[in-house]
Amino acid sequence: MPKRPIRADDLLRIVFVGDPQLSPDGSRVLFTKKTINDKNKYITNLCSVDLEGRVTEWTQGENGSGGGRWSPDGSTIAFISKRSSSAQIHLLPTNGGEAKALTAVPEGSIGEYKWSPDGRWLAFAFREQLPQNTEAAKKQREEKNLSQPPIEIDDIWYRLDGDGYFAGQRYKLYAIEVATGKYASIAGDGSFGCLYSASPTGDYSFDWSPNSKELAVIHTANKRPMADAPNDQIWRVDLVGQAWKLEGLPRGDKGAVKWSPDGKLLAYAGDVDEADPWGTRNTKLYIVSADGGEPKDLTGHDDYDLSASTLSDTKEAGFGSSLSWKPDGTGLYFQVGWKGETQLASVSLDAKIEILTDGHHTIGIGNVGADGLRLAATYGTATLIPEVAIVEPELGTGRMVPKVLTSFNDEFHTEIEVSEPEEFWLDSTDGCKLHGWVMKPIGYLEPKRYPALLEIHGGPHAQYGWSFFHEFQVLAAAGYVVVYTNPRGSKGYGEAHCAAIRGDWGTKDWDDIQTATRWMQHQPYIHPGQMGVLGGSYGGYMTNWVIGHCDDYKAAISDRCVSNMVSMAGNSDFPFNKNGYFKGVAWGSLEEIKELWRQSPIAYFENVKTPTLIIHSEGDLRCNIEQGEQVFTALQQQGVESRFVRYPASTSHGMSRGGPPDLRLHRLGEIVTWMDKFLK
């Protein structure tokens, strides 16, 4: 049967997988499977797959289950679910039986959690709900016809995009005894007692010691973390809540702490730069004595970045670092984004780095097996929706290769024709190379010329690459040439490439966008008079910059954009700190304000003639909707054809990746309709 072009509503049939975890005996991989039901709802449940591809469903139903973790002996699976009125950690025996709730925490949010190596304890982060937002409080107000009360805020860290407004509530660390349900606490009485709560932001990375007697915990040491330079430190916390700080560690960002198998070392991902709050420098892998001292940088001699994320709308964004000790303690595995690919790498304790996999793919690693030979992973390509896999040694080569275990989207790929990207490299300014991809329209015929779209990624410190992008495929099926690139500011091409626009947007990145534009105009299959530009977040910023500086594009779409750096400095969930990433600050001197205004696309909008669609979510706390409002107002006041689509406050900055399915489809419809109007 001939294949058909992809449609927007094919999104509803995609099976999304994530969070792969290899069982202690290495025989199967636990993972989350997410689908979309006929009630416009994402349904997430736990499954496992053995090495022969046989799938077992561990949970079912619409309440959702995720974060599955094997107990150290493999007899139990812990997971988080809202089977009761609020999220709790549940335990499910693997030899049969019903899941039972382990915790009975109040309404709130459970964050990261980990089994102790002896299986006796579970440590977890928990943040209690704002009292006024509990179900009981809401019901009481309804009964008394009372208004929604104000949120009372005393600290600048009071909201996070996708998380909402939490005011002064903070995550705290707890440890619960699995057999008894009693908590380790300072009081030691087994009640619901907090083990540790020293972070002013409630942001923790933690790991158990091999003897299960204490935790290594990373959090900021700053009293004003949103204003001061990065200064994460490591504490050791025992099971009665006594903590002591490791001495000798430098300032800077730190995370993903991992205790070595012999208990002598701690590994973490981070950097020592105190003036890089947005991570333009490479994230490196460090080890330090578990007793403190000077850390050793294992990866800084090379140009790899442990936090280079490859973007897609069919997998989690994943901006953090992923690393695991080898079971014998001789080194660590980590994930690296490089030139549009995501690969598995390892580093020895004497700082020898090996890239263990190769190919045009994205690998998302989970944990490593007890024998150190296999790792759980997700695996995808530009034409393959991610599936669950293991990465294992290839016989006789010394390399490691992914083995795909699941086939949830095989029917999708059998039925639907997709466009395969072709990569290209261009010479840009200052001797720099620009890496990009082009997707021809479905049904492409020579020598016909087609309308073309330039997609610009967000971040800006991330990368496009060899990952399946539903949106791009929909546009190719609609008859467009789709072009996407990694201009300077992108990760995956070394620190200098990323840092080229640090605090200086609209410069070298704009050079690279112009390079891509000229290339598009000279391709025999692209109609130079029928080109459009679009992007989200920083991609929306750059779309705004493009239309304020040239007329090469006949239509534009500015999605969840940044337009005014002066107002952005104070209304984002991550406010600018003075002379951190950007020079100056919006409430500083006139010269400081001028520097931010120079980098604001809205400052150049007197030049705009390009018809523009503005897409924004009212619940976007990263790039406030007023950024899009300013764009729409300026265009309307100047008589430039424009349209403003505002999605409700229940959506957030990441709506294109994880928003309600019907609204994701609506957004895609708006994009295609707008481009068709002006380019066809």
Instruction: Name the residue ranges covered by the structural domains of the chain.
Output: 419-564+600-679
Considering only CA atoms, give the Rg of the chain: 25
* Torsional sign, CA 65, 18, 205, 23: positive
Indicate if the pLDDT at residue 424 is higher than 90: yes
Tell me how far apart the alpha carbons of residues 93 and 382 are, in angstroms, rounded to a whole number: 38
From 361, 461, 497, 653, active-site residue: 653
User: What pLDDT is attached to residue 258?
Assistant: 98
Joined tokens for residue 261: 């198998």
Indicate if the pLDDT at residue 465 is higher than 70: yes
Q: What is the mean pLDDT of the chain?
A: 95
Tell me how far apart the alpha carbons of residues 296 and 286 are, in angstroms, rounded to a whole number: 5
- Decide if 653 is catalytic: yes
Q: Which CATH architecture has domain 419-564+600-679?
A: 3-Layer(aba) Sandwich (3.40)
Q: How confident is the model at residue 577 (pLDDT cuts 50, 70, 90)?
A: confident
Residue identified by tokens 């205004």 is 597
Q: Which of 262-271, 498-507, 584-593 has the lowest mean pLDDT?
A: 584-593
Q: How confident is the model at residue 236 (pLDDT cuts 50, 70, 90)?
A: very high
* Bond into 447 cis (ω within 30): yes
Tell me how far apart the alpha carbons of residues 625 and 564 are, in angstroms, rounded to a whole number: 11
Q: How confident is the model at residue 44 (pLDDT cuts 50, 70, 90)?
A: very high
Residues in a beta bridge with 354:
346
From 81, 205, 346, 537, active-site residue: 537
Helix (H/G/I), strand (E/B), else coil: 471? helix
What predicted TM-score, i.e. pTM, was given to this entire model?
0.97
The percentage of residues in the chain with a pLDDT greater than 90, rounded to a whole number, is 90
When pLDDT is averaged across residues 396-425 and rounded to a whole number, the result is: 95
Measured in degrees and rounded to the nearest 5, phi and psi for residue 42 equal -75, 130
- 601-614 pLDDT, tens digit per residue, is 999 999 999 999 99
- Decide if 301 is catalytic: no
Residues in Cβ contact with 139 at an 8 Å cutoff, skipping those fewer than 6 apart: none
Q: How confident is the model at residue 39 (pLDDT cuts 50, 70, 90)?
A: very high
Residue identified by tokens 């549940």 is 90
Indicate if the pLDDT at residue 19 is higher than 80: yes
User: What pLDDT is attached to residue 585?
Assistant: 86
- 112-141 pLDDT, tens digit per residue, is 999 999 999 999 999 999 999 999 999 999
User: What pLDDT is attached to residue 395?
Assistant: 82
Residues in Cβ contact with 276 at an 8 Å cutoff, skipping those fewer than 6 apart: 230, 252, 253, 502, 580, 581
Cα 19 to its chain centre, rounded Å, is 13
- 310-328 pLDDT, tens digit per residue, is 999 998 777 789 999 999 9
User: What pLDDT is attached to residue 316?
Assistant: 77
